[in-house]
Amino acid sequence: MKFLKYTFLFLLVLIPVAIISVYTVQKTRQKKVIKHFYNSLNLMQKAYPFISFSSSRNDYFKMLDKADEVYKDILTYRLSKAEKEISEIEKFAKEIVTKRKSSYISEAHIADFVGDVHILGGGNTLLKAEIDTKIREKDVIKCGEKSGCKIGFIDGSIFTIKSNSTIVFEKINENKKQNLLEISIKLLKGKISVETLGLRDFDQDFSINVKGTIVKFKGNTSAEIELRNAGKEVAVFCYDGTVRVMVNGGDQIFDLTTRLMCRINIDTETVAKYKIPPAPRAEEPINLSTIDRNTRTNIVFKWAPSFNVTGYYFQLSKDHMFANVIVEKFGYSGTTLILPMLDPGTYYWRVAAINSVNERGQFSEIIKFTVISGSTNNFIDNTPPEVNIEKINVFGSVVIVSGRTEPGATLIINNHLVEVGKDGKFSFIQKMYQKGKNAINIIARDAAGNETKITKYAVITVD
């Protein structure tokens, strides 16, 4: 009897422990699967601009529709099924970008430039900067005043060299057979921004050397590196992803994650780290809008307020790379800016929030608008297009919007141009950076210029 009693007591203790252990293992696995799921949606967001390069547009929408079921599988612990479906979504996103390779040069090249850009081939032969010019090791690129240059790589990553900046390509190794991409750059002067894409199966190794400080990044990363204060300070900004910083070649090594920046004193090697605010949401004028200068005397710029900021940094430019900025307001305290009417032409604007140490965060989306002199349209059709939002799904910080509008209409969601199918169907995916209630501003414009504006909201509960 004693044996049975002790056996019973032993089982009474063991069974709950076993249940708790199984539950803990499942919860741990569930967290990993959720993270994998969010990463796959981020890849789908990165792939979205490229769906026009493939015939997989409908398949893309089907994959987005599948996300809802995948999330249910995760919450109900059907994790093996979820992992299989997530892998399919991830594979699909990578294939979309692979299919666009015929539309791009599969080598380091000049993807875009404005203004006065010089290339010193091998460091000594002056070459003319042209679109698609190939970049080789030892090449020096100099961007003069009111100039800028974008360098594209085999995996779709883009480096943007800013005005009054000089860089040297110390190493370029783009090995298609081994899926290897090694890029090493020395920043001699100015500023460079980085957008790396982890959409293709490349083993990436990007590094930028600034006065002995090495900055490395890979995968999906948005960052900026600046040499300032007469070359005595290096500033590194991580807007999204992860950046590894090695001061003086490795005396200090640390990582910057999303919305962190650091200042490095070249002489003393001291490091100061700060949080930077997320990008504000640009609201007015909207993207691709037209303003008739004969109907008004000024232009009103508006953006959504950011929290815990000391001001904003507004820029208005005549070019999309903001090399020729014509209006600049640093430390502006409001979220509405009124400027005198501009001359006819195309303009671009953006805004960033500023923290307590006067460091700005990431800029908003670039907004393009046109100023004309006199209306050229005599509207006969006065009926605005219908917009039907069928579904808004929120997965972590990723939002998927699906619906229908008038076929042929121009659709803009949060200042992003969204492709509308022949049947009027559309889907849009965006990563939100603001915790809490986020506005989703939807504008549909027909050929006659009639507009329908709708605002929906998505609540983000994770950072």
Neighbour tally for 303: CB within 10 Å: 24
Residue 94 pLDDT exceeds 80:
no
Taking only the tens place, the pLDDT of each residue in 168-214 is 999 999 877 777 789 999 999 999 999 987 655 667 889 999 999 99
Residue 149 pLDDT exceeds 90:
yes
Range of 43-47, 99-103, 280-284, 329-333 with top mean pLDDT: 329-333
Q: What pLDDT does residue 460 have?
A: 86
Mean pLDDT of the residues in the chain: 86
Q: What pLDDT does residue 201 have?
A: 60
Q: What pLDDT does residue 174 have?
A: 80
Taking only the tens place, the pLDDT of each residue in 271-323 is 999 999 999 999 999 888 889 999 899 999 999 999 889 999 999 999 999 99
Q: How far apart are CA 196 and CA 30, in angstroms?
A: 28
Query: How much is the average pLDDT of 237-263?
Result: 94
| Band (230; pLDDT cuts 50, 70, 90) | very high
Q: Nearest to residue 234, comparing CAs of 221, 248, 222?
A: 248
Taking only the tens place, the pLDDT of each residue in 78-91 is 889 989 998 988 88
Cis peptide before 285 (omega within 30 of 0): yes
Q: How far apart are CA 243 and CA 260, in angstroms?
A: 10
| Band (262; pLDDT cuts 50, 70, 90) | very high
| Chain Cα centroid distance, residue 67 | 21
Portion of the chain with pLDDT greater than 90, in percent: 49
| Chain Cα centroid distance, residue 290 | 26
Q: What pLDDT does residue 12 have?
A: 61
Q: Nearest to residue 57, comparing CAs of 101, 100, 96?
A: 96
Query: How much is the average pLDDT of 252-272?
Result: 96
Give the contacts of 33 (CB within 8 A, at least 6 positions apart). Answer: 74, 79, 82, 83, 86
Neighbour tally for 192: CB within 10 Å: 25
Taking only the tens place, the pLDDT of each residue in 350-368 is 999 999 999 999 999 999 9
Q: What pLDDT does residue 103 have?
A: 43
Q: Where are the beta strands (DSSP E) in 165-270?
A: 165-175, 180-196, 203-210, 213-217, 221-228, 233-240, 242-247, 252-257, 260-265
Q: How far apart are CA 449 and CA 384, in angstroms?
A: 8
Q: What pLDDT does residue 50 have?
A: 66
Taking only the tens place, the pLDDT of each residue in 17-29 is 555 565 677 888 8
